[in-house]
Chains A and B, each alone.
Chain A
């Protein structure tokens, strides 16, 4: 029983980490119909920024984290202005551009940061004995709570604020929203920046647990796409549920079926969802 609870806890924690790693992709797809293949690279860069700021330049880790996210936000804005904006209206172009960008950034990371895995310092160390049942790493618990905080903030931002309203307006109908006075270029730019910042947030939160490597970015993007497709393209709620489902299924599957096929369980679920509910668990059925 202890072991089952441990597997479940870990599934939920990894699930939330999945969700935070994927929500940036979901946001950008939902609002702009752009699939950002360079998501994993932004995540990796944030992890490295956070590492170098704190380990090499001596910035306190708590300051290095938001600072790294802000850098990634700026990179996101820059990407949108230069590469993505000219492709509006043609999803294929943006797809190819972000794909090429992901390869360029991956190699740049290899060149700049070297091949070794790196991680920012832990904010907390050791493990907590949970209800006297099992030990669980403190850094994981902390990252879990920070992730939940960020997810709640994003939901609040999108559902309750004026900025969120204009984002949703643009995502529903770009032309109509500009007719009623929403500056859709600005909204797109900010939402792409926000999506990038979320990749960065995931990077700085998760990197102390799972150190970043330049070539680890493809796995992060892939995982994010699985979560997004599972939950439904563009649905934030779907993203959280998709992430949790993936985390729990992988952990219980690894525990009770085989550790060897951990990553396959996620893909089996993905295939089932694509066969029976191609629009995802919470996505909108295409008209």
Chain B
């Protein structure tokens, strides 16, 4: 009996201790793929989070407490994503969750966020529906399919007078959404195109590429995310399709991963990709600071722009909690709606007009970048261009 009493006392003290310890920090939840075909994004997220936390905690944290992050892996799988968010909401009881880079996962997460009434800021899942559903708890500070296509991809194709387009899209929510939007825009511009659907985890694209070659397009819009893009680019060169026909990586990060050049070899020359980051383009002082902090911490230049995207949303979340002066959901959402914060890609202000995808949405400016001699050259939009688009005659 005595032993039992001792045990109970110890347990109680421990439990109180952990509670007291937990209350010393503000926890921000993060969701993203740390495994699966886009595990590299998880790595990019980890780096961005580390820099954001250094930055915030050096300034004294949030509400006078140090900030901490709980990063749950989604594996890029919607079911895992949903349970990851559920864990953050119920087990860790975080006041806000940020992150995600897969649309399929984000679409599952917003339902959970809505059910648990927990504020969620998506940074790199582009599907329109994520904000189009107009959930009160869901925000996005990042690209959206319609915006990327309307303002960047479709005008880029038109302005550079490409004659025929091949759209290759993976069977994910992001792939389907962005391909449909592209088809609509190209139809409006009167530019002929073909669409090829591929499996998300395909490795061998010879059949698809042979089909495309038969159609003789001069640009391929590759909506393939992850390692698959490396296979696609390398194989397009082998079958003699590129560089005569250019390839635009509609997502971007895979073309920036450390292993890109090793995996594609010279097939990477003249490849194009979407990005929101370039070493010569700094839209705000925060962008410069991020670049310097990153270099100091990791001893190299940042490459994957998703490192910066997650950095931005962690800052936005911390700012909202600070202004709300609370970790309760309602005040945080109210604060988020009034966000007016400088991040690396501009000044964040969320849209408030309901009924469209622009509700609770803020999109950073994007760039179309081309690899020229293994150097990144911004070729679109014109006002940000650092060089001209190169084509092979």
Contacts and interface: CB of A to CB of B under 8 A. Distances in A.
A90 interface: no
Interface in B213-266: 214, 227, 230-231, 235, 237-240, 257-259, 262-263, 265
Contact of A255 (B37, B211, B258, B263): B211
Interface string A13-28: 0100000000000000
Given A116-B257, A127-B238, A262-B202, A213 B210 contact: no
A115 B39 CA distance: 5
B196 interface: yes
Given A3-B211, A255-B211, A219 B35 contact: no
Contacts of B235: 137
Contacts of A127: 237-240
Contacts of B202: 262
B201 A219 contact: yes
Contacts of B42: 115
Contact of B199 (A110, A116, A260): A260
B238 A258 contact: no
Contacts of B35: 110, 115, 215
B198 A116 contact: no
A213 B41 CA distance: 14
A21 B214 CA distance: 31
A188 interface: no
A136 B238 contact: yes
Interface residues of B, number: 37
A136 B208 CA distance: 14
B262 A255 contact: no
Given A117-B259, A215-B39, A135 B238 contact: yes
Given A115-B40, A135-B238, A135-B240, A255 B197 contact: no
Contacts of B40: 115-116
B181 interface: no
Given A110-B35, A115-B35, A135-B238, A211 B259 contact: yes
Contacts of B43: 114-116
23 contacts: A3-B211, A6-B206, A7-B210, A14-B204, A115-B43, A116-B40, A117-B259, A118-B262, A119-B259, A125-B265, A135-B239, A136-B239, A137-B238, A210-B204, A211-B259, A213-B39, A215-B37, A216-B227, A255-B207, A255-B211, A259-B198, A260-B171, A260-B197
